[in-house]
């Protein structure tokens, strides 16, 4: 019993769609500056669109800084509580698993209060329509979408012609 070429196409299309939906962006906080003193993280975050499934990476010399996930109030006050997860590895990879606002500060000394080591981002749901278009510097995720649409159109053409 021969495998239908159309069935193969369905599998391929399914695979492509899945591959696209799990593809995620990794953001190095502060880019080459990393997680450090006196960097403007709000400007860094401003033109980026964070989506569930993306990851944040905080790079810094371990023992010099930390990364503490806090709430909005703690963020404003640069305070931490026992319930906050603290990360100290120097290469902290944080998967963005839920939509909403996320706040991160450095828990060392007055790095948050006086040296601007604080980052707030808003994570969008994965299913949302294309976000307000950022001035995209990375083009690969954008290229993938027309590819999928083209493939789906071709697939329908094959099935219904």
Residues that bind Cu ion (CB under 5 A): 65, 106, 108, 111, 117
CB-hemisphere CA count at 13 Å for 43?
4
Q: Which is nearer to Cu ion, 85 or 150 (CB)?
A: 85
Q: Which is nearer to Cu ion, 65 or 102 (CB)?
A: 65
Q: C-beta of 100: minimal distance to Cu ion in Å? A: 25
- DSSP sequence for 17-50: HHHHHH---EEETTGGG-S-TT--HHHHHHT--E
Sequence-ordered alpha helix ranges (H) in the chain: 5-22, 41-46, 72-77, 111-115, 140-160
Q: C-beta of 109: minimal distance to Cu ion in Å? A: 7
Q: Which is nearer to Cu ion, 37 or 124 (CB)?
A: 37
Q: C-beta of 28: minimal distance to Cu ion in Å? A: 17
Q: C-beta of 12: minimal distance to Cu ion in Å? A: 48
User: 123-150: string of b/e by CB count within 10 Å (b at 16+)?
Assistant: bbeeeeeeeeeeeeeeeeeeeeeeeeee
Q: Which is nearer to Cu ion, 10 or 57 (CB)?
A: 57
């Amino acid at each position: 019993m021969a495998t239908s070429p159309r069935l193969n196409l369905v599998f391929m299309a399914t695979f492509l769609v899945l591959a696209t939906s799990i593809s995620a962006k990794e953001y190095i906080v502060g880019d080459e500056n990393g997680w450090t003193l006196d960097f403007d993280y709000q400007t860094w975050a401003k033109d980026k669109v964070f989506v569930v499934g993306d990851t944040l990476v905080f790079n810094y010399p371990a023992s010099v800084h930390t990364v503490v996930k806090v709430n909005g109030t703690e963020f404003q006050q640069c305070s931490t509580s026992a319930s906050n997860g603290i990360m100290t590895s120097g290469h902290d990879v944080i998967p963005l698993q839920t939509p909403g606002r996320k706040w991160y500060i450095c828990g060392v000394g007055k790095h948050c209060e006086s040296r601007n080591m604080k980052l707030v981002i808003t994570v969008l749901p994965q299913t949302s329509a294309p976000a307000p278009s950022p001035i995209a510097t990375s083009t690969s995720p954008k290229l993938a979408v027309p590819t999928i649409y083209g493939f789906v159109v071709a697939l329908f053409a094959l099935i219904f012609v």
